[in-house]
Structure 1
Amino acid sequence: MSLCWANREKLRTHDRLLVLTTLLLTPFIAGCAQIKLFSVAPSTVCPGETVQIDWKASDRVMLNAVPSVEGVGEGPPEGSRSFMPTENTRFILNVPGLLKSAQREWDVTVIPSQSSRLLGGVAQCGGNPPFASASFSIQQKDSSSRVRAVSVGNNYHRHLVVSKDDIEVEIPPDGSTDGFKNASVIGTWTIRTPLGTNEACENVLDAIRNRLTIKTQMSCGE
């Protein structure tokens, strides 16, 4: 009997500790704001196009923009709004909390008559014959379907082979090409560079700092 009584007392003590811990932690959890979702799509647009902002937070939110756009301000814990930025804009979502506030930021790029951007990814090396390569994808949620390539530049002192869909172009060192002119930037791009005679993979990856990028001039088509 004494053993059973002792076990019951241990369980009661354990339960009391759980209740006490919950009571102590609840104010801290409730006092810390949370942002469960914050997205802006697309993040690259042409003049006259809209972006949609979706959010989900632990409490009412304050949505701001720099520079300011019409329609920002206080909002419910969960919602969405659409905006038509006329220039590059940073959207800021803030959720106040008793102990700690939460904040997220998202940049939207508005393409002018022509814009330039470095695009690329982490490089890998291998194959026979060996080459270093990198691939990256631009999805519809990332860019307006109107954004088109004007030219693609090679910033390296070595040859690049760039391909997208059924287009493949070799770009000389420090050169550029208009072979992708009017092609949509949305899709998967691949960048490759062949290894030189007696050049090892480690050497080429060090030379390109483990990344391959292209300088892409782009504009908004119809």
Structure 2
Amino acid sequence: MACPGDTITLSWRTNGNVTLSAEPEVPGLGKRDASGRETVTLPGGPGPTVFGIHVSRFFGLKKTDTSGEVLSPPLAREYAVVDAEGEADFSCLDQERAVEAFIVLDEEKMSPGVLIEQVTNMNVRRLVLGKDGVSKTLEEGEAAGFEGMPAQGRWSLRVPLEEGENCETAVDDVDGRLIIKLQLACRR
């Protein structure tokens, strides 16, 4: 996710002649070597920038088109803690009677210029969200006040244990189903 004016790097490796394109237009794109990297600046304006690569071979009949999209906020995105066996492991917090996991939005996933407008708990269970020293408790469907904070960084998602529940049963209950919705924006 990147904002207008951000620079991104395009890279490709093919076995044919390459033509790079973008919609809306990005100046300087066009014919390139079969493999390469190029840094470009995203154009201003609303909506996504769609980059295309057209590959053709001189002695072959095959022509291939593919495209990739760079999304420009404002927009809503859902992020999920996929599962406890994946990259989002849960920790048991005995004293707080909760389980906790983390989502890391790094420079590979998010430009530093992308800001939070709103974070919403999409779970039936209460969720405590935290980032950069700010912590908010949210019921189902409730939105939190993280407005203006960078989306990039480490987010904690804490689920309080219910009466009679232990960490193992809580993880089983939320594993693969812990979802937050981020409403994102760019700096104005």
Alignment equivalent of 1:194, drawn from 136, 160, 176: 160
- Could you tell me which runs of 5 or more consecutive residues in structure 1 were left unpaired when the two chains were aligned: 1-43
Residue type of the alignment partner of 1:174: G
1:149 aligns with 2:149: no
Alignment of 1:139-218 (within 5 A): 139-178=106-145, 180-199=146-165, 204=170, 207-208=173-174, 210-218=176-184
Over aligned residues, Cα RMSD in angstroms? 3.1
Partner of 1:35: none
Of Structure 1 and Structure 2, the greater helix share is in 1
Partner of 1:96: 56
CA contact (8 A) 1:148 1:221 kept: yes
Deviation at 1:203, TM superposition (A): 5.9
Alignment of 1:39-58 (within 5 A): 44-58=1-15
Residue type of the alignment partner of 1:173: E
Distance 1:127 1:67, change over 3 A: same
Deviation at 1:161, TM superposition (A): 1.1
CA contact (8 A) 1:123 1:205 kept: no
CA contact (8 A) 2:80 2:176 kept: no
- Higher Cα Rg: structure 1 or 2? 1
CA contact (8 A) 2:93 2:100 kept: no
CA contact (8 A) 2:114 2:186 kept: yes
CA contact (8 A) 1:71 1:83 kept: no
Structure of greater relative contact order (alpha carbons < 8 Å, 6+ residues apart): 2
CA contact (8 A) 1:122 1:134 kept: no
Deviation at 1:108, TM superposition (A): 0.3
Q: Share of identical aligned residues, percent? A: 27
- Structure 1 distance, partners of 2:136, 2:78, is 18
Partner of 1:116: 76
Partner of 1:82: 40
Distance 1:107 1:203, change over 3 A: farther
Please give the secondary structure, in 1, of the residue aligned with 2:6. Answer: coil
TM-score scaled by structure 1? Answer: 0.64
Partner of 2:87: none
CA contact (8 A) 2:42 2:49 kept: no
